[in-house]
């Protein structure tokens, strides 16, 4: 359903008290199905994958920031045998604070940036993230973008326009939503759809699930669909069952 432009300036979603059902296996299935269906251009021999890892560092995310720091190494570990992954960390918080790290090729370097970040009160800057991704992709192709956040407090039309432009460039946004805020859900789903990516919710109790999903996107960014299927079989747990289901749906 199209957005009502009269409501395109979304109020603070952090203040919402609406509760939606927790993320279920069906949502993970749908997310991975979209990852599997996302086009990926073949890489030249020896070419590393490039992924931007963007995070909301506003005050509401402080309780789970340490958890995110602990699990980010999974993205590198999962791609080591595929030729490796380069990641740029992007974060925002406080009053118009926005930082982007240099491109790094190890979990240690990424963690050193993340541990310097302090969550501060402020509004979301997702449109700014999308604009930054577009600029980076003009310099050199970005294979995928992971975004982790819990709120959306911006002009939805402007953000969706930028997301659509990324879709034309073949840069999918994989939107990981912490919690169940309905306004964020609506915005994240549209950004994912228009960019050719996918949306999935998680909560503080689903760290293992989030690890696997982040690693799955990283593997996709480096090796495409076949690498994702091989990774799912090796990893075990829920992923092989989900990828088997996706294979039957294709």
Compute the average pLDDT of residues 13-21.
43
Tokens in use for 57? 């560092």
Q: Which residues pair with 174 in a beta bridge?
A: 146, 198
Does residue 20 lie in a domain region? no
If you compute the radius of gyration of the chain from its CA atoms, what whole number of angstroms results? 17
Give the chain's mean pLDDT: 78
Compute the average pLDDT of residues 14-42.
59
Does residue 14 lie in a domain region? no
Does residue 39 lie in a domain region? no
Compute the average pLDDT of residues 51-65.
87
pLDDT value at 242 more than 70: no
Q: What pLDDT does residue 85 have?
A: 87
**What's the CA gap between 24 and 133, in Å, rounded?**
30
Does residue 192 lie in a domain region? yes
Does residue 17 lie in a domain region? no
DSSP annotation string for 13-43: GGG-----PPP-HHHHHHHHHHHHHS--PPP
Compute the average pLDDT of residues 207-219.
80
DSSP annotation string for 167-228: HHHT--EEEEEES--HHHHHHHHHHHHHHT-EEEEE-TT-HHHHHHHHHHHHHHHHHHHHHH
Phi, psi of 177 (to 5 degrees): -105, 120
pLDDT value at 233 more than 80: no
Which of 18, 25, 1, 38 lies closest to 184, judged by CA?
Answer: 18
Does residue 106 lie in a domain region? yes
Q: How many domains does the chain have?
A: 1
Does residue 6 lie in a domain region? no
CATH, residue 55 = 3.40.50.410
Compute the average pLDDT of residues 37-62.
78
The pLDDT confidence band at residue 24, using thresholds 50, 70 and 90, is low
Which of 183, 180, 233 lies closest to 20, judged by CA?
Answer: 180
Tens of pLDDT, residue by residue over 126-165, are 999 999 999 999 999 999 999 999 999 999 999 999 999 9
Does residue 12 lie in a domain region? no
Compute the average pLDDT of residues 191-198.
90
* Pairing label, strands 144-149, 173-178: parallel
Q: Averaging pLDDT over each range in 27-31, 124-128, 178-182, which range is the top one? A: 124-128
Q: What pLDDT does residue 56 have?
A: 92
**What's the CA gap between 124 and 94, in Å, rounded?**
9
Beta-carbon contacts of 165 under 8 Å, excluding residues fewer than 6 positions away, are: 134
Domain range holding 53? 25-31+45-249
């Amino acid at each position: 359903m199209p957005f009502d432009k009269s409501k395109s300036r979304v109020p603070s979603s952090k203040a919402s008290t609406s509760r939606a059902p927790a993320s279920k296996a069906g949502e993970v299935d749908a997310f991975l199905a979209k990852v599997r269906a996302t086009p990926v251009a073949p890489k030249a021999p020896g070419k590393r994958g490039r992924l931007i890892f963007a995070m909301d560092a506003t005050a509401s995310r402080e309780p789970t920031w340490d958890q995110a720091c602990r699990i980010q190494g999974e993205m590198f570990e999962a791609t080591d045998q595929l030729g490796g992954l380069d990641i740029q960390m992007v974060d925002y918080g406080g009053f118009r604070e926005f930082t982007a790290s240099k491109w790094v090729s190890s979990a240690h370097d990424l963690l050193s940036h993340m541990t310097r970040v302090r969550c501060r009160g402020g509004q979301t800057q997702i449109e700014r993230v999308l604009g930054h991704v577009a600029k980076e992709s003009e310099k050199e192709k970005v294979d995928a973008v992971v975004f982790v956040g819990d709120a959306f407090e911006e002009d939805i039309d402007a953000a969706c326009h930028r997301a659509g432009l990324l879709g034309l460039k073949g840069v999918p946004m994989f939107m990981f939503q912490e919690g169940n805020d309905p306004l964020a859900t609506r915005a994240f789903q549209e950004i994912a759809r228009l960019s050719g990516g996918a949306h999935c919710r998680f909560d503080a109790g689903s760290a293992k699930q989030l690890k696997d999903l982040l690693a799955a996107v990283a593997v996709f960014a480096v090796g495409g669909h076949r690498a994702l299927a091989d990774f799912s079989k090796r990893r075990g747990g829920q992923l092989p069952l989900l990828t088997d289901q996706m294979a039957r749906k294709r």
